[in-house]
């Protein structure tokens, strides 16, 4: 497997995560997609040499994913632990990704484990009380409320994560440094141009002039296509332009005109 690219800590987030860990305070990371939330948490867990258990929340996430399910093998009933229980027992790091995409009942069950006692009653099986092992740590992420499918977190659950890190898109120079961690060769000027384009589209999306806001995933993909020999104009069309065709020709044309003005005909 390829070695994962190291995280560029432009936001001083690792220091904050370390302090939160030392103080036994759980962390909430707020930011739009592709701003490095998952990479930050992976990097932090790796630095701390901690096992990382991850749950990606959606409307389909059930309590059983967190708590566990009864299984029947050869006539015996077993209980297969969910990731919340598993991580509590291990004292590992639990990553709750896009927690605000989950249904309220699922969140309520989480709340039980996250309060100061750090314990949960397994009413699903033996009724035993699971107490988190020393060092158990939880980091959750939420997308801003403007994202489709996201709901407001119940305030009580929000208060379980008193350390909040807000991750926005980085500045142009920082974004260039990040893209260069993923792409080899010297394409600085074209990549800067793509970052400028991305920022124009992000700003337009922020005021709802466009339906889609490109993330760092797109600026990295643009760099990777250049690395494979594609022209910057074609890469820009493919990575940044074509996605807008799903909202029709008017939406697409707005972006296409910007691309032409920045990358030529």
Query: Please, what's the largest Cα pairwise distance for the chain?
Result: 70
Residue 11 or residue 38: which is nearer to Mg ion going by CB?
Answer: 38
C-beta of 213: minimal distance to ligand ADP in Å? 12
Binding segment toward ligand ADP, per CB under 6 A, in 27-35, 150-158, 184-192, 252-260: 27-35
What ranges make up the beta strands (E) of the chain? 27-30, 52-56, 68-73, 76-81, 93-97, 119-121, 129-131, 137-142, 163-166
C-beta of 230: minimal distance to ligand ADP in Å? 19
Q: Which does 217 bind (CB under 5 to 8 A by kind): Mg ion, ligand ADP, none?
A: ligand ADP
Question: Cβ-count burial of 191 within 10 angstroms (0-12 exposed, 13-18 middle, 19+ buried)?
Answer: buried
Interface with Mg ion includes 215 (CB under 5 A)? no
Nearest residue to Mg ion, using CB? 38
Q: Which residues pair with 166 in a beta bridge?
A: 30
Interface with ligand ADP includes 7 (CB under 6 A)? yes
Q: Are 60 and 101 in contact (CB under 8 A)?
A: no
Positions 210 through 249 that interact with ligand ADP (CB under 6 A): 216-217, 220
**Distance from C-alpha of 164 to C-alpha of 139, rounded to nearest angstrom:** 10
Binding segment toward ligand ADP, per CB under 6 A, in 3-11, 130-138, 144-152, 232-240: 3-11
**Distance from C-alpha of 88 to C-alpha of 223, rounded to nearest angstrom:** 40
Binder to Mg ion among 13, 38, 92, 215 (CB under 5 A)?
38
Residue 39 or residue 69: which is nearer to ligand ADP going by CB?
Answer: 39
Binder to ligand ADP among 39, 64, 69, 199 (CB under 6 A)?
39
**Distance from C-alpha of 152 to C-alpha of 158, rounded to nearest angstrom:** 9
Positions 159 through 198 that interact with ligand ADP (CB under 6 A): 178, 181
How many of the chain's residues bind ligand ADP (CB under 6 A)? 17
**Distance from C-alpha of 188 to C-alpha of 217, rounded to nearest angstrom:** 17
DSSP state of 74: T
Residues that bind ligand ADP in the complex, under the rule CB under 6 A: 5, 7-8, 10, 31, 33-39, 178, 181, 216-217, 220
């Amino acid at each position: 497997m390829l070695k994962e690219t190291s995280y560029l800590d432009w936001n001083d987030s690792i220091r904050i995560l370390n302090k939160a860990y030392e103080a036994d305070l759980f962390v909430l990371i707020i930011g739009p997609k592709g701003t490095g939330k998952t990479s930050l948490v992976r990097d932090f867990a790796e630095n701390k040499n901690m096992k990382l258990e991850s749950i990606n929340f959606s409307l389909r996430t059930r309590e059983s994913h967190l708590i566990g399910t009864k299984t029947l093998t050869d006539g015996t009933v077993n209980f297969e632990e969910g990731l919340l229980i598993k991580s509590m027992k291990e004292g590992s790091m639990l990553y709750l990704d896009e927690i605000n995409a989950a249904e309220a009942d699922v969140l309520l069950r989480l709340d039980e484990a996250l309060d100061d006692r750090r314990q949960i009653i397994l009413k699903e099986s033996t009724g035993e009380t699971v107490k988190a092992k020393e060092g158990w740590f939880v980091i959750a992420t939420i997308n801003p409320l403007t994202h489709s499918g996201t709901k407001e977190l119940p305030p009580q659950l929000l208060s379980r994560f008193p350390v909040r890190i807000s991750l926005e898109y980085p500045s142009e120079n920082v974004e260039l440094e990040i893209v260069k961690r993923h792409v080899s060769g010297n394409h600085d000027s074209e990549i800067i141009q793509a970052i400028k384009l991305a920022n124009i589209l992000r700003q337009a999306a922020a005021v709802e002039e466009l339906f889609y806001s490109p993330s760092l995933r797109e600026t990295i993909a643009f760099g990777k296509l250049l690395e494979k020999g594609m022209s910057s104009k074609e890469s820009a069309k493919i990575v940044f332009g074509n996605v807008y065709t799903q909202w029709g020709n008017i939406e697409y044309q707005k972006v296409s005109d910007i691309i032409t003005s920045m990358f030529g005909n």
